[in-house]
Amino acid sequence: MRINYWSCSKFADKIRGTKKIECGTADEWASWDRNAKNFNKFRFWVAEEALDGIQNFVNWPKDKIYAVKYYVVNRWVDETHALVAHKKHIKRGQYLDFDSRILICLFDELVDFVEIEMAYSYHRWDEEKIKKLSWWQGGMWRTRTWRSSEFGIKHLQWSMSLTNEDWLEDDKKHEAVPTSQAENAKEILHLYTWWTETYPNRPEAYDLSGWSAYCDDKRSRGVGFLETDPEENHEKTDMMLENINSIEKSYEDEDTEMLIRLIKIRRSLWT
């Protein structure tokens, strides 16, 4: 994607005879466009259309090389055509049922979104920050191989601080509320934290129910797995097995809830 368009340069302003605004609302852009055309339609066409055409011609070789680079990286490095699990969760070549892949792939992609896309966004709009990145971390030859949980979270924290204060009159600024971007960032951070901290540290159902401790004790007494335990308290072991089912069901319900919450904010998962 080209960032520096010749039609947005100071040279274009001189040709056009009017200075181009840097940013504005839809109405402000429409007003500028109308006024610039009224000043001189031919000069407007040269600055807005001809310069872009010349730039496209001059940059054609570079753009083609860039397109090839993007295809190769997207296809074999970033794999942006697919939802891919991290190797620590699903090893390459390992088979896992679809129901398990749904949870793992979607949340691993969320981690990539935060630690790669959000981490890069933390730098990309600040010239001083972008200068600190290596050539392979930013710019034309960037790939999605560089990640930073720290910078991804910092960008989300910045997004969470956004309010509609700038759109309010001075006497209404005390009524400022978080923007939709801020609300979505809060939810993204919550889901990211759940997957990276809560989910991997949930106690195993067999451990939490006491079944693992019972089996360890049984083995220590020399009683085999399929052998009858003379000291077994059937009421107690039945309760343990019921607890296992209950705990596993609560974990499944939690997983489903988090997946639903992730799907609900999918429209905000872009940079």
Predicted confidence band at 148 (pLDDT cuts at 50, 70, 90)? very high
Distances (CA, A) of 94 to 80, 89, 112: 20, 10, 21
Phi/psi for 96 (5° steps) reads: -140, 140
The whole-number pLDDT of residue 3 equals 53
> What is the Cα–Cα distance from 270 to 42, expressed in whole angstroms?
38
Span 73-83, average pLDDT: 88
> What is the Cα–Cα distance from 206 to 212, expressed in whole angstroms?
5
Chain length of the chain:
271
Give residue-wise pLDDT tens across range 202-260.
999 999 999 999 999 999 999 988 889 999 999 999 999 999 999 999 999 999 999 99
Distances (CA, A) of 214 to 40, 178, 227, 234: 87, 51, 14, 12
pTM of the model: 0.81
